[in-house]
Amino acid sequence: MSRIAYVNGRYVPHADAAVHVEDRGYQFADGVYEVCAIVDGLLIDETLHLDRLDRSLGELRIASPMGRSALKVVMREVVRRNRIGNGLVYMQVTRGVARRDHPFPKGIKPALVVTARAIAPDKIEANNRNGIAVATVPDIRWGRCDIKSVSLLPNVLAKQAAREAGAYEAWLVDKDGFVTEGSSTNAWIVDADGNLVTRDVTNNILRGVTRTSLFTVAKAAGIPIVERRFTVDEAKRAREAFISSATGYATPVVRIDDTAIGNGQPGSMAERLRDLYLNAARAGARP
């Protein structure tokens, strides 16, 4: 069965899905996006993702393309038509189509694209079972990383640098030597006292939805969390390290650059958090 995409009011074959050449997302990266995980047919953390989508749109002064109830219908229909049991649904909203000019054009409609694709659970499980490596790279992004913008070129360059270094993910490091976040994930460590440590949220990182949900389940389980900066050196000396994301949940980090973390094996905290998160996410996503 061919994949199906939703593009500006129409469900079309994925191979034929297209936007206008003067869509501002294409020409200016003038748009935002969200990615929502699908686990056993359930949309995970849907409300939090849609809340963040609304915030990103508001920060860029882009009108919502439709009401939330209607968008939920579209998301589910795209998932249904693509027969996705485990995977992700991707939503992208741009300011719309207009003659190329930098100022906001008047009288145009925002453009909406929704797609879905499967992700094999075995791939996620392999990362959790074996752990991943991360490479540190300078953080060269713009000053509003709290907006989930489609302007991701620095993230792409960081991810590519990591892959060329034999690592799965890049950790971005600011000019003072502190880790901000991953190229497409949030960064965590477990310190010597057993505290979960992750960067505090300002404009320099994205408030990850999975990050937010991990806070909730960790607090409910009595696991202490500290929001503060940490250096690369501190991370390399940490008891554990892991990354969080919508499709990876809590994935253990076993190596940073050339340094093994802990005993070089996935840590128990990441596994515990992953189980707590998935149990809570499945329960919250059920109709």
Low-confidence ranges of the chain (pLDDT < 70): 1, 286-287
Q: Examine the domain organization and report whether 190 and 259 are in the same domain.
A: yes
pLDDT tens per residue across span 179-220: 999 999 999 999 999 999 999 999 999 999 999 999 999 999
Q: Which CATH number is 14's domain given?
A: 3.30.470.10
Q: Examine the domain organization and report whether 222 and 194 are in the same domain.
A: yes
Final residue in a domain of this structure, among 73, 98, 118: 118
Q: Examine the domain organization and report whether 42 and 83 are in the same domain.
A: yes
Alpha-carbon distance of 189 to 269, in angstroms, equals 10
- Is-above-0.85 flag for pTM? yes
Range of the domain at 81: 4-118
Instruction: Please choose, from the candidates 35, 45, 19, 17, the residue with its C-alpha nearest in 3D space to the C-alpha of residue 117.
Output: 35
The SS3 call for residue 253 is strand
Active site (annotated) includes residue 106:
no
Q: Examine the domain organization and report whether 134 and 262 are in the same domain.
A: yes
Final residue in a domain of this structure, among 72, 95, 118: 118
Q: Examine the domain organization and report whether 138 and 15 are in the same domain.
A: no
Quick one: pLDDT at residue 123? 84
Q: Examine the domain organization and report whether 145 and 89 are in the same domain.
A: no
Q: Examine the domain organization and report whether 100 and 203 are in the same domain.
A: no
Place of tokens 């920060």: 59
Q: Examine the domain organization and report whether 112 and 136 are in the same domain.
A: no
Alpha-carbon distance of 177 to 40, in angstroms, equals 40
Final residue in a domain of this structure, among 118, 151, 178: 118
Quick one: pLDDT at residue 122? 86
Tokens linked to 209: 């939805």
Q: Which CATH number is 151's domain given?
A: 3.20.10.10
Quick one: pLDDT at residue 124? 87
Q: How many domains does the chain have?
A: 2
Quick one: pLDDT at residue 120? 86
- Tell me which of 148, 159, 219, 236 is the catalytic residue: 148
Alpha-carbon distance of 104 to 144, in angstroms, equals 19
